[in-house]
Amino acid sequence: MTSATLTRVNAPAFNAAVAASDLRVNNRAVVPLRIPLDRTGKPAIINTDREASAQLPFHFNPRTQSSVYATETFQTSAIHLLLPRTLTDPSGRADRVVFQDNLMPDVIHLAPTEFRLARSQESPYLPSLSLLTADFATTGEADQAEVLFNVIVSYELDPWLDPEIIELARAELAAEGLVARFTPIVPRAAKLRLELDLLDAEQERNEAEIEASVGIADTLILDHNRFTRLWRERLANPATGVTGEVTYQLFDGTPAQSRVSLSLWQTSPDVFDVDFLGAVGGTSGRYRVRVRNRIESPVAIERLLSERVSDEAAAAPVDSSSLLNRTLQPQEWVDVEYQVTPPEAPVEWLEPIVFGRVEPNLAALLKLLMLNQGYSSLIFSFTVRAADGVFGAAAGGTEPLIGLLVEFDDGSKVELTPEEPESEVTLVGRMIDQLMGEADDQQRYFYRVTNLHAAGEGARTTWKPGQGSADIQVGQAVVQFDF
């Protein structure tokens, strides 16, 4: 788990933090949302040195206590042990395990529930999967040549922890009078295995970099046939993906496992921006948040979790059944209301977790994930320019033309204006089509033109075919009638 995840897990309730704060603005207790940093990355505050001394009795006999911590070998008889604890939810499900520290029973050691394909935290929030084509060659005659290439597949997996595990462990320890503290496991050894038959003996990923609390980084080098299988049979298939397992040996010899999932279709809260909008007028304890799809593909809302506001209050989504399975297109948003119980509980901020199921736009995503376009015959560029006089004076009774939108069937688009009447466009040809299992006629494309006016879009042409890298000239779209 990342430091951000641990900060969220161990963070006090916002209201409790405000109540304990000695910082005041206009005589109201506040806490800083962001701490200003200096040029060295340290908090820009005044440091004050304080000294304190205390005397505490202490006795340690190394002859009898030498195995308190097993630091060199795995000693199952060591005093410091991790005790597996199976959590049971209200429905009776009992398959989630955490590890309780026997010397510090309030400390829970957590193994990731699953390692999942990470997404960048910066726009455009793409999956951490990069495809680099290399080692190109051709076979056969010039007019029937087959392109051969290798693909270097680099991926990163983030440790993901089911948030219900935190609440179940917190509740079970609270019943024993303990306030749970959480920390990631620190394994002595970790191994990754991918359940991917096309890797043959390379399913054991011995070169993968594994840090249980940080993530996994690994690279596959596949020839074009194996990569095509990987894409079509696994990555482009919502029912499969790539699965695997990470196995650990903890410091006291305890074994632990985490699942691995490499999928473009996975469910995640990282695909949404959740913004707190404030209280809903006229209803006590009712608050509203805005959920926006921030990634490149459509996302369906799969689960909305209740949010703990304080030790005594919680916020639950209102009429969540009407929102489940609703699909949000890229940048589309929906407002969700939450009811706080008890309604009089003060709420300064609300940021509930909303899980979304990605429905990837595979053709667009594949193009975004490729770091290079490789072989020259698989990519081609040309100039699109507006015909002379297109942006001249408008004909009688027509609205002036302020631009032309030229769209291509692979998703590329350019906008021509009087100030910039031409633009270069780059299209990806055969490789994308080949990997998607579609027709791969070299350097073939379709395009259409839409008139742009100050009031919005106007007439639009039908899709027109094109081929090759010769420049094209476009004119104003004209509505045609069939009689």
Lowest mean pLDDT among 59-68, 81-90, 186-195, 357-366: 59-68
- Whether residue 393 is found in the same domain as residue 434: yes
In this structure, the answer to whether residues 261 and 276 fall within a common structural domain is no
φ/ψ of residue 425, rounded to 5: -125, 145
Mean pLDDT of 276-297: 91
List, for residues 229-285, the tens digit of each pLDDT value. Answer: 888 888 888 888 899 999 988 776 778 889 999 988 888 888 999 999 999 988 899
Q: Is residue 399's pLDDT more than 60? A: yes
In a shared domain, residues 99 and 240: yes
Question: What is the predicted pLDDT for the residue at 4?
Answer: 64
Total count of domains within the chain: 3
376: confidence class by pLDDT, cuts 50, 70, 90: very low
Residues 107-120 have a mean pLDDT of 88
The model carries a pTM of 0.57
In this structure, the answer to whether residues 171 and 210 fall within a common structural domain is yes
Q: What pLDDT does residue 46 have?
A: 63
Final residue belonging to a domain, choices 217, 248, 265: 265
Per-residue pLDDT tens over the stretch 67-99: 554 433 434 444 677 888 888 888 888 778 888
pLDDT for the residue 436: 58
Q: How confident is the model at residue 463 (pLDDT cuts 50, 70, 90)?
A: confident
Domain hosting residue 169, numbered range: 74-265
Q: What's the residue count for the chain?
A: 483
Domain boundary among 238, 265, 292: 265
| pLDDT value of position 70 | 41
Task: Find the CATH number of the domain harbouring 276.
Answer: 2.60.40
Residue 381 has pLDDT above 90, yes or no: no
In the chain, the amino acid numbered 470 is A
Are residues 83 and 160 located together in one domain of the fold? yes
Q: Please indicate, yes or no, if residue 385 is contained in any of the structural domains.
A: yes
pLDDT value for 6: 64
- Indicate if 241 and 323 belong to the same structural domain: no
Q: Quick one: tokens of 435?
A: 């990997």
Write out the two tokens for 329: 């297109």
The CATH number assigned to the domain holding 430 equals: 2.60.40.10
For the chain, give the mean pLDDT. 81
Q: State the Cα–Cα distance between residues 18 and 1, nearest whole angstrom.
A: 27
Residues 180 and 213 in one domain: yes
3-class secondary-structure state, position 370: strand
**b/e 403-423 (16+ beta carbons within 10 angstroms → b):** bbbbbbebebebebeeeebee
User: What pLDDT score was predicted for residue 85?
Assistant: 87
Measure CA 57 to chain center. 51
Enclosing H/E stretch for 379: strand 379-386
Percent of the chain beyond pLDDT 90? 24
* CA dihedral sign, ordered 118, 190, 114, 370: positive
Backbone angles phi, psi at 87, to 5 degrees: -95, 140
Any domain includes 22: no
Within this chain, do residues 259 and 281 fall inside the same structural domain, yes or no? no
In this prediction, residues 307-322 reach a mean pLDDT of 89
Rg over alpha carbons for the chain, rounded to the nearest Å, is 29
Q: Are residues 386 and 312 in the same domain?
A: no
- 286 found inside a domain: yes
Count the neighbouring beta carbons within 10 Å of the beta carbon of residue 214: 15
Query: Of 7-11, 406-410, 412-416, where does mean pLDDT reach its minimum?
Result: 7-11
Beta strands in 225-369 (DSSP E): 242-250, 255-262, 267-268, 272-279, 286-293, 299-304, 307-308, 314-317, 327-328, 333-341, 354-358
User: How many other β-carbons are positioned within 10 Å of the β-carbon of residue 432?
Assistant: 21
134 and 96 in a common domain: yes
Output the six-digit token pair for 51.
């000294």
All residues at 6 or more sequence positions from 359 whose CB lies less than 8 Å from its CB, including other chains:
265, 297, 298, 299, 300, 327
Pairwise pLDDT comparison (389 vs 339), residue with the higher score: 339
Task: Judge if 94 and 242 occupy the same domain.
Answer: yes
**103 within domain boundaries:** yes
Give the closest residue to 235 by CA, choosing from 65, 438, 436, 376.
436
Q: How many CB atoms lie within 10 A of CB 9?
A: 19
At 140-190, the pLDDT tens digits run: 444 444 556 788 899 999 998 888 888 899 998 999 899 999 988 888 788
Residues 327 and 382 in one domain: no
Band of residue 120 on the pLDDT scale cut at 50, 70, 90: confident
Does some domain include residue 92?
A: yes
